Chains A and B, each alone.
Chain A
């Protein structure tokens, strides 16, 4: 069965640089979620999209933005990176009418 795809899997950036993370949901899933998991922490909700519109917002810094495209893939754009942005970033997707989220393998971002 198809799963959620995230790219890249690993990313190393320097402080003040920008990064773009991509997420390809499971086919026919119309809702995408982004979570950030710091070292030794639980995943924290950042933002979600439903049918290409932002549907909810969590603890996402103003330096970050995201969007969902017409093919339902989503991108998380991160600017002016800080050391504290180093984390595992998960994307999850949910089918219309469903409740459970299916997670991608994550993108590990390291900011040096």
Chain B
């Protein structure tokens, strides 16, 4: 997505933590999401954060939001081989009237056994 940027690749060892980063430009974004896409599959909602929060934890997932810098990150603790996939951040805003998503470019996470 032209307004939402992510690094393209990340490689980690099994058991390590993974941190996937995302920068966005729309300061009116109200909700920010992380989706997981496995090869040839659909988009699975992992978690989301409201723009008035700076952190959200959900089991192995921790989302950090720096609204000033428009920077979002997803930390996966104890990364497993099953976490290998493409991770997309997405933003939406009610100013669009429809909460349509603008997706990031996607980060391909490879977990090495």
Contacts and interface: CB of A to CB of B under 8 A. Distances in A.
A56 B1 CA distance: 18
Interface in B62-88: 88
- Majority SS of interface residues in chain A? strand
B100 A33 contact: yes
A106 B31 CA distance: 23
Interface in B22-50: 30-31, 33, 35, 40-45, 48
Contact of B1 (A33, A42, A48, A101): A42
Given A33-B100, A42-B1, A105-B42, A100 B105 contact: no
Contacts of B99: 31, 94, 99, 101
Interface of B: 1, 30-31, 33, 35, 40-45, 48, 88, 92, 96-106
Given A33-B101, A44-B103, A99-B31, 7 more contacts: A31-B98, A42-B103, A43-B88, A55-B97, A92-B101, A100-B31, A101-B101
